[in-house]
Amino acid sequence: MMGVIEPAEAPQLSRGRDGRRRRLEQLYEAHASAVFSYARRRASWEDADEELVVDGFLMPAVADRHVHIELSDPAAVLRHGVTAVRDLAWPPERIFPLADASEMPSYHGPLIRAAGAMLTGHGGYPTKAEWAPAGTGRELTGPDDAVAAVADLAGRGATAIKVSLNAEAGPTPTDPELMAICDEAHRLELPVTAHAQGAGQVERALGAGFDELAHAPWTRLSDEVIETAAARLRIVSRGRPIKHRLRPDTPLQQKCDEENVKA
């Protein structure tokens, strides 16, 4: 699943690990026909000594902040100008080594940041989702376990904490667990992003102190909730969740999605 893409700014992408800026520059240099680097000084048009005519258009490199990268071909992602991605739910034993590998010049794909497993309730989404390998969801057993889960993911290199608030697909974490997740993640300076689906789930995210919605809600929200969410939450992606790629949205779901974003 690929989400909405945004311009990539080198200082943001190079934060947290040594060598990331050089890795970005290598990506840009190796694929100069598709992207150019914000990390280097941009010359003015007057300074140019060569005009390059291409069959298409040039645009800045982009970062996709909501992917499940192993559902795509990383090399194809990079060839199309996406030089950095954030994976928002995949088994930790698979995604974190892949993120480490993406630091190396020999890796044929975008630079990867990852959340690891999505935190969820017992039997909750995505533990039974057909797209998700075993381990994509981590079922919580209480607030203390929620704190331990966040600490474990942070220790493995997570750059965000993803939480399932998909009440339409199964149990979700309890309110005390949500509070514990946000408190520990914020203590560790990690953002918390929600897969919010079902009545009242965006409100729960707001109440617990979440930072992001992984996608635009397609349950119609009240004007008050929309105003509060607009002031306090970032919507990472307008893209449809994976299950809706397998089963198209109904006209009502499409309308709710559009109305929430426009509002």
Question: Where in the chain are the domains?
Answer: 1-40+58-114, 118-263
User: CA 254, CA 96: separation in Å to the nearest integer?
Assistant: 34
3-state helix, strand, coil in the chain (%, to 5): 40, 15, 45
**C-alpha triplet 51, 7, 218: angle, nearest 5°:** 140
Instruction: 101-105: list long-range contacts, CB under 8 Å, 24+ apart.
Output: 102/74, 103/17, 103/19, 103/20, 103/23, 104/23, 105/23, 105/26
Tokens standing for residue 115: 């959340």
Measured over the CA atoms of residue 83, residue 197, residue 224 and residue 261, the dihedral's sign is: positive
CATH number of 118-263: 3.20.20.140
User: CA 88, CA 199: separation in Å to the nearest integer?
Assistant: 22
Closest alpha carbon to 260 in 212, 214, 227, 211: 227
Per-residue confidence (pLDDT) for residue 4, from 0 to 100: 39
> Who's near 104: CB < 8 A, 6+ residues apart?
23
Low-confidence stretches of the chain (pLDDT < 70) are 1-48, 238-263
Closest alpha carbon to 111 in 154, 56, 153, 157: 157
User: CA 233, CA 100: separation in Å to the nearest integer?
Assistant: 29
Per-residue confidence (pLDDT) for residue 56, from 0 to 100: 79
Question: Which pTM was predicted?
Answer: 0.75
Measured over the CA atoms of residue 243, residue 248, residue 252 and residue 257, the dihedral's sign is: positive
Per-residue confidence (pLDDT) for residue 39, from 0 to 100: 37
User: CA 153, CA 207: separation in Å to the nearest integer?
Assistant: 23
